[in-house]
Amino acid sequence: MTHIIKDRMIMRNRTILFTALMAITIFFSCGNISDKKIRIAYANWAEGIAVTYLAKEILSEQGYRTELLNADIAPIFTSLARGKTDVFMDSWMPVTHADYFRKYDGKLEILGQIYDSARIGLVVPEYVPIHTIEELGAHTRRFSGEIVGIDAGTGIMKCTEKAIPEYGLDYRLMISSGPAMTALLKKAIDKKEWIVVTGWTPHWMFDRFRLRVLEDSRNVYGEAEQIHSIARKGFSKEHPFAAALLGNIHLSDTEINSLMRAIEETSGTETRAIRQWMDGHRDLIDSWIPDKEEYSR
């Protein structure tokens, strides 16, 4: 009788163990913890850095492992098209990045629209008494015949390369980066010097400095654009929950400006800044999280 009881206890324990193992297997197979990294590419643009770190932290909260990859815009689109990276959170349409979408037609997915009213153009400090791109031609010397740009190959640089001959300007377009451009802008403003830069909104520099976007009568820089989250082809099928989450991220003027300001004011501690921002916007973030029961990651 004792042997029978022991055998039953052993069988019962084995059943419990088997059930527990099956539960664990189901738990992981349903994707509560992702078995793959999501590789997010980003360029050194203020809004892109802010939104990318935000996406990283939200995905981490949902159990995903992420990897951030910094590069210029052309390599970012190439890597997405080749499947080397998964996501880019700062694609401007319909003008700025249109060439890349044409080049890689069929190899990219649009996940969602993050921001509605983005603009690009040429920007001067408000103390510079000009209001149009045409007026730059009469003040070449005051600007040292130079427009301070950002990364080569970006949409705003391509538009500026078109604007120089379109407006008959005798200017050289200086290649630099987003951070270098804002550093030179600050240096000039501190000395009340004349400077013209390639600029865009949303950007924290419009909160920090009194700036003016020059009127573009020939519409070289286009109308208002939208910032999208995009991915390599097949990402939504492989990661439907993550794709839906990233596609739900949408920010108002106030929200994106406060997010960029948080990042800019805490340089080098982006993760901490993002977490603090998230703590103050928890209802907004929760509204982006899809219903897990509808997705199998």
Using one digit for the tens of pLDDT, what is the confidence trace for 190-231? 999 999 999 999 999 998 899 999 999 999 999 899 999 999
Q: What angle do CA 220, 255, 258 make, to 5 degrees?
A: 95
pLDDT value at 33 more than 80: no
The predicted pLDDT at position 294 comes to: 82
pLDDT beyond 90 at 5: no
* Residue predicted with more confidence, 46 or 20: 46
pLDDT recorded at residue 297: 46
**Tokens linked to 289:** 């999280």
pLDDT of residue 21: 42
Contact (Cβ atoms closer than 8 angstroms) between residue 185 and residue 148: yes
Straight-line distance from the first to the last Cα atom of the chain, in angstroms, rounded to the nearest whole number: 49
User: What is the pTM assigned to this prediction?
Assistant: 0.77
What interhelical angle do 46-61 and 253-265 show, nearest 10? 90
Write down the mean pLDDT value for the chain.
89
Q: What tokens does 270 get?
A: 């982006």
Q: How far is CA 211 from CA 44, 45, 194, in A?
A: 21, 18, 12
Helix axes 253-265, 270-279, angle to 10 degrees: 140
Of the candidates 270, 256, 291, the one whose C-alpha atom is nearest the C-alpha of residue 115 is 256
Answer whether residue 293 shows pLDDT above 90: no
The answer to whether 113 and 227 have CB atoms below 8 angstroms apart is yes
- Domains of the chain (ranges plus CATH)? 37-117+225-294 (3.40.190.10), 118-213 (3.40.190.100)
Which of the two residues, 260 and 8, has the higher pLDDT score? Answer: 260
Give the model confidence (pLDDT) of 112-144 as tens digits.
999 999 999 999 999 999 999 999 999 999 999
Strand partners, 137: none
Q: Are 213 and 199 in contact (CB under 8 A)?
A: yes
